[in-house]
Amino acid sequence: MNATRREFLKAIGASTVLSLGAGAPAFLGGLGASLRGRALAGESENTGTGSGRVLVAIQLTGGNDGLNTLVPYEDDAYARSRPTLRLRSEQVLKLDGGLGLHPEMAALRKVFDTGRLAILQGVGHAGSSRDHDIALRDWHTARPGDASCQTGWLGRAADLARRPCDPEAPAAFVGPIDQPFALNARRTTVPAIRSLREPALRAPDGADGAADHLARLSEAALSPRAGGGSPLLEHLCRSARAAAERSRRIETLASTYGEQGGAPFPLARTLRTVTGLIRADCGVRIYLVELGGGGIGGFDSHANQGANHGALLRQLSESMAAFLRDLDRDGLLDRVLLLTFSEFGRTLGENGRHGTDHGAAAPIFLAGGAVKGGIVGAHPSLTDLDQGGLKSHTDFRRVYATALGRWLGYDARAILGEAFEPLDVL
């Protein structure tokens, strides 16, 4: 084999000269065994989604208290059941129909007033579990009660969206915790990304200019003197150049697009990373981020709920609002749908520790340029309860079907396993 070709093939090997950095996006340089089948099949390279729509999901880990997020402040049952946690009429940010947002959600109230935020009431599913792991798994798999399911709803969406043998991943997790189960896929390696400042391509010996080095080697390997002409080699070189170009694009963006801007919260910084990746147009159509910490705690407010829950809602509100402002400023808002979810709501009644226990249904948020703003659906009864929690009237998989089918244009039935009627919110 020609020395130049040997050097190039060594450079794309993960264990030799050039490798993907730890946690680096697979869509930047998935130069693996899958390329051989794609090259031999003569498939062209997909270099991005262009104007494709994007879904961003925020997981609220621990079970968000929907009753103190969207507050039924005029309901006597709410007042009687929460002697210390009750939010009064003069405290809440009033919306419509005796409902108002938590006072720490002023930033999201402004989004609501623009018509770009929908609040979906009574979302859950029949017979929902009160166990964190089981309930979260049900929301992650979209297959409640199926303990044998090994893929998540977003992972299956990535599998469906990804072309055979395509090195790019159409989904990514952005954040510091372990990647949630929702992104488990059968055929797609979904990357976990912490920051735009993590190098997409890097040399193990610390050498600079890894992307430029790979691009130069790919050009040299294709030269007539190097003995070009192999379809596989040509495909590898094209993929390497595309990886190098995406790496340069993200490195340039990271140097000019500060992740510290906007709201001073970890979630805001994570969402700013997502904004940067959307701007870089790297082919990802699904992002998942998380608020709450990924373990016991977060929104699991069994004691001293008032201040802790308020601080989390402020972080959520200001981070979402900053994200939407960034997208709007960059002309991207009409391409993005943002949704929140949590494994369950909380009980109507507070416990003896000034907290609430595991409930059932809760509201979720949808935001974006294409969203029909407003409050969607009736507020669940506060006198007809499900073991102390609110009963659901809207299956959460209808929300998923809306995001997958109506928004992303995917086959929602194939992903969810059965048909669910989308909601009229877009």
- Per-residue pLDDT of 85-110, as tens digits, reads 999 999 999 999 999 999 999 999 99
Q: How far is CA 23 from CA 27, 28, 383, in A?
A: 11, 11, 48
Amino acid sitting at position 156: R
- When pLDDT is averaged across residues 227-235 and rounded to a whole number, the result is 60
Say yes or no to pLDDT of 43 above 90.
no
More confident residue, 266 or 210: 266
Range with the poorest average pLDDT among 66-70, 101-105, 123-127, 235-239: 235-239
DSSP annotation string for 223-241: SGGGT---HHHHHHHHHHH
Tens digits of residue pLDDT in 27-40: 444 333 333 333 33
Contacts of 415 (CB under 8 A, 6+ apart): 142, 153, 156, 157, 160, 400, 404
The structure tokens listed for 154 are 């977003």
**Dist CA 98 CA 95 (whole Å):** 7
Instruction: Please state the pTM of the whole predicted model.
Output: 0.82
The whole-number pLDDT of residue 31 equals 35
**pLDDT of 165:** 54
For the chain, what are the domain ranges?
Answer: 1-32+201-256, 48-196+259-416
Q: Tell me the average pLDDT across 117-122.
A: 98
pLDDT tens per residue across span 137-194: 999 999 999 999 999 999 999 999 987 655 567 999 999 999 999 999 999 989 898 8
Percent of the chain surpassing pLDDT 70:
71
DSSP label of 217: H
Contact 158, 286 (CB under 8 A): yes
Question: Is the model's pLDDT at 77 over the cut of 80?
Answer: yes
Of residues 347 and 35, more confidence is placed in 347
Q: Which of 424, 426, 343 is nearest to 142 (CA)?
A: 343
| pLDDT value for 50 | 34
3-state secondary structure of 218: helix
The pLDDT score that the predictor gives to residue 282 is 79
Q: What is the pLDDT of residue 167?
A: 56
Which stretch of DSSP H or E encloses residue 375?
strand 374-376
Whether residue 319 has pLDDT greater than 70 = yes
pLDDT value, residue 212: 59
Across 109-123, 176-190, 200-214, 220-234, least confident range: 200-214
- Give the whole-angstrom CA distance, residue 94 versus residue 5: 67
- Report pLDDT for 248: 61
First to last CA, the chain: 56
Domain 48-196+259-416, CATH number (from 3.30.70, 2.40.10, 3.40.50, 3.40.720): 3.40.720
Give pLDDT, residue 264: 86
